[in-house]
Structure 1
Amino acid sequence: MAWQPNDTVFPPFFYLESLDIPPSQAYAAIIMATLTYCFIIAGNMTIILCITLNRSLHKPMYLMLLNLLVNDLIGATLFFPQLISGIALEDRSVYCASCVLQAMMVHVYAGGDYVILTAMAYDRFLAICRPLRYGVMMSRANLLKVVLAIVVTDLAVVSPLYCLLARLRLCGNSITDMYCNNASLLKLACGDTAVNNYYGIFVAAFLQGMSLIAVIFTYVQILVACLANKQSDTKSKALRTCGTHLTVFLVFQVTTMFKVLAHRFNQVSPYLRRAAGVSIFLLPPIVNPLIYGLNTKEIRNIVIHFFTKKKMTNFDR
């Protein structure tokens, strides 16, 4: 439904892009989306509970991983419930306030993952290259400061995007995306959006560039330290731990870059743009718990022990 601009800056409703799902396939789509969301919740909550309930995992690396998985759950929750209800009710309308809140939280989620992954790279750098100072530099007090710095940095970078958006008048209410985000809302603006575009590019460059530079720097230092270490067991463990983090970082870096580029170029196919948009809510929340759960020995052993013990308990009954 078209909306004609009047004295209000924002329309009362926004209409998200149609999913183009035939009625005959609606139930299958609902089941698939629901199972995917449940799988994401189960996978992330399993690792979160492992870390929370086991004091042996109350270490800086695992506590930062806990923050990463909670952030991924938030990201998935921003997308899947709305997707499922939209298919079930055949209604793609969303209240203005809900749309703007979702758009802001999407940026907070993406920015949060970048900042957390950067902090995790720094943690690995200290643990491997500065082991004698690690206990002091990553004490509980300092870890709390790191977590607060992550939250403050994320909000401080993302909030101006929506302060700049609030000054613009929108001339439409049809969002060309499967969920609300800053880029799609900005396309509806009537006035000059140059400042918004420049700051949006700065945010993407800052978050992605900062994390990429930090990860390259820390991993070059880690690689040099591992090559200089003559103890094969220590070297193998360090490389395995860093390989896990690097895989997670690359998955998120590629998916978000794909998403940013898909919105910047109008020639991109709408189906490709949809795939890029969905990937940031799908791949990291699925991949992260799988990679850390399977590749981190401490977590893997706790998960196996938990399910083995539960199975034996049920068998004894």
Structure 2
Amino acid sequence: MSMETTTQDLSNITRPVGFYIRGFYALKKGEYYFIFLAVIYVLTLVSNAILMLIICFAQTLHTPKYMAVFSLAVVDISLSSALIPRAVHMYVFDSKFVYYNPCIAQIFFVHYFASMESFSLCVLAYDRIIAICFPLRSSVLNTHCKMMLIITVAWTIPFIINVVMAALILPLNYCKSTIVNSFFCDHGPVFKIACGDYSKNWFMASFTTVALYFVPSGFIAVSYIFIINAILKIKSSEGRLKAFKTCSSHLMLVAIFFVPFCVTYIVAWVEIAILLQIG
């Protein structure tokens, strides 16, 4: 496959017109997979939109906890919108080509909202630890202003880190392949096909993974150590059950998000270790 490029003489950077996304084209009966994706996307939009409307119009839900839930709903819709429509469009219209600038934009938005999902689950963990470990002081420790500040910080930190991560793609030269081994414009597969030194991109990818995923998951794990300890100190079984029920939905969301993420990175690091040994 020949590669079309546009060369910026002033900066000596050779950029492709775009990239070819390999995606799921090797899957048997892939049309069923994309129908499934489309259904998931519609359900995500509808369910989160309804949840947001309920929180907006129900005065009793205007609490710090539901501020965090509202933020998570926004992130869910944004992440799905950054990822699924383009994947479905690629398959339905057999459009594997993505122009350079939209590709860089997708790298930023997908990773930004994915990391925001991680931070939003962190914010909910903070709310749970305050509610269960400090029930008598929760209204003082977790006010509307404090929750708004926490949510603002949770949106800002991933934004800055992901802007830097996406910006580091721009100086890379592409002189060989433009085939991205992913189902979307993913950060790693895009910088790995560049020519020359991309050690900064490797470092940024590693830093982003640790700062935006492993640190939040570590915080959530530690928070639940304190939460479980507090629940065990509750004398009545009804009280313990009630406290556990308040955490069950959050634990389910944490498992759905972090378990596939951790498995993916464990498999990736095992593959890298095997390649290094073979090399």
Distance 1:181 1:57 in 2: 37
Of residues 5, 9, 19 in structure 1, which corresponds to 2:24? 19
Q: Deviations over 1:113-154 (max 9, x none)?
A: 111111111111111112233212221111110111011111
Shift of residue 100, structure 1, vs aligned partner: 0.6
Larger mean CA deviation between 27-36 and 126-135 belongs to: 27-36
Larger mean CA deviation between 122-131 and 158-167 belongs to: 158-167
Residue type at the aligned position of 2:136: L
Shift of residue 163, structure 1, vs aligned partner: 2.5
1:46 aligns to 2:50 (yes or no): yes
Give the equivalent residue in structure 2 for 1:114: 118
Structure 1 residues 27 and 181: CA distance shift in structure 2, 3 A: closer
Give the equivalent residue in structure 2 for 1:165: 169
Shift of residue 19, structure 1, vs aligned partner: 3.5
Number of equivalent positions? 267
Shift of residue 200, structure 1, vs aligned partner: 1.1
* Structure ranking higher in strand proportion: 2
Give the equivalent residue in structure 1 for 2:227: 222
Aligned-residue identity in percent: 23
Shift of residue 204, structure 1, vs aligned partner: 0.7
Give the equivalent residue in structure 2 for 1:3: 3
Residue type at the aligned position of 1:247: M
Shift of residue 266, structure 1, vs aligned partner: 5.4
The correspondence of residues 47-196 of structure 1 with structure 2, limited to 5 A, is 47-171=51-175, 172-196=177-201
Give the equivalent residue in structure 2 for 1:309: none
Residue type at the aligned position of 2:185: C
Distance 1:222 1:178 in 2: 38
Give the equivalent residue in structure 2 for 1:199: 204
TM-score between the two structures when normalised by the length of structure 1: 0.76
Distance 1:21 1:219 in 2: 41
Contact 1:64 1:120 in 2 (8 A): yes
Q: Deviations over 1:21-69 (max 9, x none)?
A: 79x9676566444333222222222322222221111222222112112
TM-score between the two structures when normalised by the length of structure 2: 0.86
Distance 1:179 1:265 in 2: 23
After superposition, the CA RMSD in angstroms is: 2.5
Contact 1:183 1:263 in 2 (8 A): no
Shift of residue 217, structure 1, vs aligned partner: 1.9
Residue type at the aligned position of 2:259: V
Secondary structure of residue in 2 paired with 1:75? helix
Contact 2:6 2:17 in 1 (8 A): no
Secondary structure of residue in 1 paired with 2:98? strand
Secondary structure of residue in 2 paired with 1:257? helix
Distance 1:52 1:6 in 2: 48
* Structure ranking higher in helix proportion: 1
Shift of residue 178, structure 1, vs aligned partner: 0.7
The correspondence of residues 32-43 of structure 1 with structure 2, limited to 5 A, is 32-43=36-47
Structure 1 residues 169 and 38: CA distance shift in structure 2, 3 A: same
